[in-house]
Structure 1
Amino acid sequence: MCRPGWHRARIAAQHLSDLARLRRVRDRIDREYRRPLDVEALARDTGMPAGQLGREFRLAYGRSPYAYLTARRIEHATALLRRGGPDLAGVWAAVGCSSPGVFAARFAELVGMPPGAFRHRAAGPGAALPPRPAEHRTGPVRNREAPAPEPQLA
């Protein structure tokens, strides 16, 4: 015979455990953003199937692991461009993007302007900079699908 509320407590404990695993995945992506994303390896390390990891990550953070990684890469790229870091070819390589074309497309999608224009505006005195990429949009919207629901963290 189970005590009243035991089942709810067990579900709550599992939810907290899942959130901790997702936070470790997010932290790993933050640390290793220059490397290619391997969702299968991330899932193996958390003990979840890859599909479940993707769904749970989206619920917790409002975007897929890949979209989160892309936003982090572009965020780091904007920081490099603001500081006047390496040339554009050096920037896309420094943040781990696979090609300059992919980098330019994702940058423009998330920031609202191409990287060269962003660098030019950032170099100008008193130029207003657009918001950081993670704040600009919730992630790439390739087919104009409905936005993901707000994450429900307990």
Structure 2
Amino acid sequence: MNASPVTQDPDLLRRLLRAKDRMDAASHEEWPVERLAQVSGVSEAHFARSFKQAFGIPPHRYLLTRRIERAMALLRDTDLPITDIAFDTGWASLGTFGRTFRDITGESPSAVRARGKPTAHEIGRVPVCIANAARRPDLTTAVSEKRRLAAGGTNEPEQQESP
């Protein structure tokens, strides 16, 4: 049942890429699955399933990654207040931004900013695409799952011993 992206219909992949490109271009906007499915011209369930199959992560997680990636760049490269960065990157609440940012990166936005901007000689010879990939947050686990694991919870239902 799990087909690799290579075996997916090329027309479907183009449609999924169209939706992915729209999220990349406007990651600060709301992108519910319904809207993404409309962009792709497929049903919501088919879109969500196909997107995860093609790109390895669900659409919402992909969008979170893009938002955090953009926020990290703004923290590093500008002097904008953290509140402005949160709202500019699509977050409706500073608290949600801070909590999600910390859950994904392991640091608070102010800690990322405190590390300072890299000097030109530190990254001058590295191609921009490689530098961006190295700075991309690792979001292979859902944020809610990270919180549950950090709290000591598990996903497994508890097994009761039989007498």
TM-score by length of 1: 0.74
Runs of at least 5 residues in structure 1 that lack an aligned partner in the other structure: 1-11, 147-154
2:80 to 86, 91, 112: 86
User: Which string of whole-angstrom CA distances, capped at 9 and with x for unpartnered residues, describes residues 12-57 of structure 1?
Assistant: 8961111111111100000111111132122123221111111111
Separation of aligned partners in 2, 1:75 and 1:67: 12
- Kindly tell me: are residues 133 and 103 of structure 1, through their superposed partners in 2, closer, same or farther at Cα, counting changes over 3 Å? farther
1:41: which partner in 2?
35
Q: Return structure 1 stretches of 4+ with deviation > 6 angstroms.
A: none
Q: Which structure ranks higher in relative contact order (CA pairs < 8 Å, sequence separation ≥ 6)?
A: 1
User: Is 2:48 aligned against 1:54?
Assistant: yes
**Helix, strand or coil: the match of 2:103?**
helix
Q: How much has 1:139 moved relative to structure 2? A: 5.0
Confirm or deny: 8 A CA contact 1:43 1:50 kept in the other structure: yes
Q: How much has 1:140 moved relative to structure 2? A: 2.9
RMSD of Structure 2 on Structure 1 (CA): 2.7
1:24 to 18, 32, 44: 18
2:97: which partner in 1?
103
Separation of aligned partners in 2, 1:108 and 1:133: 15
Separation of aligned partners in 1, 2:137 and 2:65: 9
TM-score by length of 2: 0.70
2:144: which partner in 1?
142
**Helix, strand or coil: the match of 1:142?**
helix
Percent of matched pairs sharing the same residue: 31
1:74 to 60, 65, 68: 68
1:150: which partner in 2?
none
Runs of at least 5 residues in structure 2 that lack an aligned partner in the other structure: 1-5, 123-132, 147-153, 156-163
Q: How many residues align?
A: 131
